[in-house]
Structure 1
């Protein structure tokens, strides 16, 4: 990380059964044949359509949707997708 970098902080309350998925910018920066970017809107739409699925299915679905959009079925940047599902709260 750069010393002068600024990162936005977002706080959300999660509940048992909720999933949290994080990803690198390579996922939404994929471009198609006319150089349109996949973008955050398409990524979020894809994520919403996968709500309730297993984490593996969410990861596969997000990756697959972005790859289907991309110019040659490949990413031009590195991609990382990680996440977790909250099973229960500790008291």
Structure 2
């Protein structure tokens, strides 16, 4: 399975620009917000975790947030990507 994040973001942007699909757009906004909030939280805890711990934690946060967002958008759109 090949996940094309750039294509997914372009589709999200098209929806936000006017091709209004409520569930798809909300899922896009939620996923992007979730990643941003998680990264912000990791930055705030960077001093306590140290640089290595912060880097590992942030990478996992982005991967999990991005994977969840992709899964939600795929489900909402009802498309099978290859």
Q: TM-score, normalised by structure 2?
A: 0.37
Higher helix share: 2
Q: TM-score, normalised by structure 1?
A: 0.34
